[in-house]
Amino acid sequence: MRFFLIAGEPSGDALGAALMAGLRDLSPGAAFDGIGGPLMQGQGLTSRFPMQELTLMGLTEVLPRYFHLKRRIEETAQAVAAERPAALITIDSPDFCLRVARRARALWPDLRVIHYVAPSVWAWRPGRAAKMAPVVDHVLALLPFEPPYMQAAGMSCDFVGHPIATATPASPDQAQAFRGAHGIAADAPLVLCLPGSRRGEIGRLTARFGETLGLVATQVPGLRVVLPTLDNLRAEIETRSRDWPVQPLIVTGAEDKAAAFAAADAALAASGTVSLELALNAVPMVIAYDMAPISRWIILRMLLTDTVTLVNLVSETRAVPEFIAANCRPAPMADALVDLLRDGPARQAQLDAMALTMQRLGQGGEPPGHRAARSVLAAITAPQPR
């Protein structure tokens, strides 16, 4: 049985590799073609071209390569039609993947298309599901509340679990060693500061985060702050945090980041999937975000939910306080963070919500890659809906 897979970014490469391992376990002899990164190649894929060609963000990066990407879409669709796989499995990256699926289906109408990672239509732009439906038969969802949205648009959909459910946090010994290595006392209150990984986020949030932490320090004696970031962002973070009232310990590298998460007592974080990493480590959090003025005006009018934090959505609580757009102000964020640094109802509510979130995302159950593989095999044996 042969599958054609397409991933366009590192997160999709990880999902694809786990799915390939699951398919090989459940269907010995499974073979793979398509486009992927080093993890998928480690599972036996020979990528038709480097995945990095698809790892583009924003118009300024895409426009100069528009005609090259258009050729890649056509080449890939022609390859799918020629290979006649049991299914085309597209993994996130909808701008490229769904164009390939549409063209490949035009060349071979009997093609089965499975898309891994449902679009966040529950948050905004619900029309994306309807646009997918003509070219996608089945969706593999990472979040437990997503299948009804896909099914309402005419696609079958299974919740297969989130990859965070299989992650292993750093141990208490590693957390203790991290504190010791950086001169942080075992009983010192330690806050993670996570202002995002995009330069625009960092530019909008760092000053406000620094002011927030300064206000927290006036109420929490001995406060220490650690700021994990990427190597290529370190110089900018150092410059922007130079005048903070509380100087952060800036760390890079996966091991230091994992140990910092395990050692922390609370976090001030930009909105995003980092909330699930914090949930994995049972670190109560305050979530904040702001956008450029035009983006703020557009997105806030399109938003369909009263919370953007995945822990709140998955746990069906509102335990995590959010400070979005005009509400992203230091004084109330500091009050919320101080509340979490004290044992009390707010902290306990978050710990409960995070534990429930991890349970609902599949922690302790069958690995998501195997669940996804079962879903794929069931989908390709179901009656063709077209």
- Note the pLDDT of residue 17: 98
Question: For residues 343 and 334, what is the distance between their CA atoms, to the nearest angstrom?
Answer: 16
Q: Round to whole Å and give the CA distance between 101 and 33.
A: 15
Q: How confident is the model at residue 330 (pLDDT cuts 50, 70, 90)?
A: very high
Q: Looking at the domain assignment, is residue 288 inside a domain?
A: yes
Using pLDDT thresholds of 50, 70 and 90, give the confidence band for residue 58: very low
Q: What is the model's pLDDT at position 306?
A: 83
CA dihedral 353, 355, 359, 362 (to 10 degrees): 110
Cβ 124 vs Cβ 149: under 8 Å: no
Q: What is the pLDDT of residue 207?
A: 95
Does residue 133 lie within any of the structural domains?
A: yes
Pair 377, 160: CB distance under 8 Å? no
- Per the CB < 8 A criterion, the answer to whether 91 and 12 are in contact is yes
| 309 and 198 assigned to the same domain | yes
125, pLDDT greater than 90: no
CA of residue 133 relative to chain centroid, distance: 23
CATH of the domain at 220: 3.40.50.2000
Q: Which residue has the higher pLDDT, 85 or 120?
A: 85
DSSP string, 102-149: HHHHHH-TT--EEEES---TTTS-THHHHHHTTT-SEEEESSTT-HHH
Domain hosting 323: range is: 172-360
**239 vs 123: which has the higher pLDDT:** 239
Task: Judge whether residue 72 has pLDDT over 80.
Answer: yes
List of long-range contacts for 45-49, beta carbons under 8 Å, 24+ apart: 45/5, 45/16, 45/20, 48/75, 48/76, 48/79
Q: Is 331 inside any structural domain?
A: yes
- Distances, alpha carbon 378 to alpha carbons 106, 123, 179, 375, in Å: 24, 29, 48, 5
Report the chain's C-alpha Rg in angstroms: 22
Beta-carbon neighbour count of residue 169 at 10 Å?
A: 16
In-domain check, residue 167:
no
Distance CA 218, CA 128 (A): 47
Q: Give the containing element (helix H, strand E) for 209.
A: helix 199-219
pLDDT at 65: 74
| Cβ proximity of 119 and 92 under 8 Å | no
Whether 353 and 373 share a structural domain: no
- On whether residue 386 sits in a domain, the answer given is no
Mean pLDDT of the chain: 92
> 158 and 65, same structural domain?
yes
- Among residues 228, 207, 181, the alpha carbon closest in space to that of 328 is found at 207
Whether residue 261 sits in one domain with residue 155: no
In a domain? residue 207: yes
Residues 377 and 340 in one domain: no
Does 117 fall in a domain? yes
Are 176 and 309 part of one and the same domain? yes
**Contacts for 335 with CB less than 8 Å, ≥ 6 apart:** none
pLDDT, tens digit, for every residue of 332-378?
999 999 999 999 999 999 999 999 999 999 999 999 999 999 999 99
> Are residues 118 and 224 located together in one domain of the fold?
no
Residues 145, 199: one domain? no
CB 278 within 8 A of CB 228: no
- 1-33, pLDDT tens digit by residue? 999 999 998 999 999 999 999 999 999 999 999
Higher pLDDT, 293 or 228: 228
- Tokens representing 26 are 């459940």
Structure confidence at residue 57 (pLDDT): 46
> Per this entry, what is the length of the chain?
386
The answer to whether residues 240 and 108 belong to one domain is no
Q: Are residues 309 and 330 in the same domain?
A: yes
Angle, CA 97 vertex, CA 91 and CA 103 arms, to 5°: 140
> How many domains would you assign to the chain?
2
Q: Are residues 116 and 232 in the same domain?
A: no
- Percent of the chain at pLDDT exceeding 90: 79
Distance CA 192, CA 225 (A): 6
Confirm if 26 and 377 have CB atoms less than 8 A apart: yes
Whether residue 248 is contained in a domain is answered as yes
Q: Which residue has the higher pLDDT, 57 or 247?
A: 247
Indicate if 138 and 232 belong to the same structural domain. Answer: no
Number of neighbouring beta carbons within 10 Å of residue 10: 14
Query: Cα dist. 352→136, 214, 258, 312 in Å?
Result: 37, 28, 21, 11
Please report, as a single letter, which amino acid is at residue 108.
Answer: W
